[in-house]
Amino acid sequence: MSELVSISKKLLLDCLGAKPGEKYLVLTDEHKEELAEHLYEAGKELGLTSMLFKIPALSKSGEEPPKAAAEAMKNSDVVICITEHSLTHTRAKKDAAAAGARIATMPGITKEMFLRGAITADYSEVEKLTKKIAEILTLGSSVVIEKDGYRLEMSIEGRKGIESTGRYLEKGQSGNLPSGEAYIAPVEGSADGKILVDGSIVGLGMLKSPILLEIRKGLLFDAQGDGAKEWLEMLGSSNTARNVAEFGIGTNPNAILSGNILEDEKILGTIHVAFGSNNTFGGKVSAGVHMDAVVLEPTVYVDNRLIMDKGRLVI
């Protein structure tokens, strides 16, 4: 108990810049309520005006929380969302950030993840690398991903690279904890090709064998491999759900592949693509779902410039 509260206090101070007297909200569900208690106690010990808000479990990542929870988020200075499914790409989080809240989302985090792996990284170093990659994405116009003979290309022209550094110290800053990724919303309709996913996928966890995704005109057309049919059913068949929503690059050297997307997509040497909503970070699609897929050791080009060679950053 005391160790988890101590870690939670460190996260509040180092990653969210929490100050005594600030309004602090811990938003949780029945799956993560026990861990949320530690975060709540940490806030009280630091002198924050702390509130613990429990909502019904959501059915999938990207689903909006109840209106009362969204209002509580907007009326807080510091918010931690520790839930089974992700609130990262929701209107509620976007509106709360616009109102000035500093927000960390911790979807699916486990007790073990509090104690080891990505959360133990030097976030000042993670921040430097993340900002550098986000700048490359912002200045870029096209991305090509290659792995095992398959190739996926997409346009990112006019889109802004987003930094998820793990440090959210200014009003309106938000992202995951643990963190370490730079990501961007590809231009809708531009992605085309195939990509071999061999790390993990939201809804399936760590993959025992790769799943091949085929993408046409910015939409997921088909998926082949063990669990692919089940995953497609979870994602849904609408064009909005199958929209190629995100391209991201992991920047956390301490992250470990575990089957939990919160940490897996942060692994240095990986990339991820996501499907569904991207309107909260520069795209145009609102789908009520956002599901990521992690690729290990890919080769990546931005504007024909090699930036990752089989998982090794060369920037």
Say whether both 109 and 7 belong to one domain.
yes
Residue 152 structural domain? 121-313
Say whether both 167 and 107 belong to one domain.
no
Question: How many domains in the chain?
Answer: 2
100: domain CATH number is: 3.40.1830.10
Query: Is the link from the previous residue into 20 a cis peptide, with omega within 30 of 0?
Result: no
Say whether both 151 and 273 belong to one domain.
yes
Say whether both 153 and 176 belong to one domain.
yes
315 residues of the chain, pLDDT tens digit each: 589 999 999 999 999 999 999 999 999 999 999 999 999 999 999 999 999 999 999 998 999 999 999 999 999 999 999 999 999 999 999 999 999 999 999 999 999 998 899 998 989 899 999 999 999 999 999 999 999 999 999 999 999 999 999 999 999 999 999 999 999 999 999 999 999 999 999 999 999 999 999 999 999 999 999 999 999 999 999 999 999 999 999 999 999 999 999 999 999 999 999 999 999 999 999 999 999 999 999 999 999 999 999 999 998
Say whether both 149 and 83 belong to one domain.
no
* Among 101, 59, 98, CA closest to 81: 101
Say whether both 47 and 125 belong to one domain.
no
In the chain, the amino acid numbered 162 is I
Say whether both 202 and 285 belong to one domain.
yes
Say whether both 175 and 54 belong to one domain.
no
Domain boundary among 63, 98, 115: 115
Amino acid 315: pLDDT = 84
Q: What is the DSSP string of 90-156?
A: SHHHHHHHHTT-EEEE-TT--HHHHHSGGGGS-HHHHHHHHHHHHHHHHH-SEEEEEETTEEEEEE-
Amino acid 2: pLDDT = 85
Domain boundary among 89, 115, 141: 115
Say whether both 271 and 298 belong to one domain.
yes
Domain boundary among 100, 115, 130: 115
Neighbouring CB atoms inside 10 A of 73's CB total 24
Backbone dihedral angles phi then psi of residue 271, each to the nearest 5 degrees = -130, 165
Say whether both 109 and 153 belong to one domain.
no
Say whether both 111 and 130 belong to one domain.
no
Say whether both 110 and 125 belong to one domain.
no
Neighbouring CB atoms inside 10 A of 304's CB total 8
- As a whole number of angstroms, the distance between CA 244 and CA 194 comes to 12
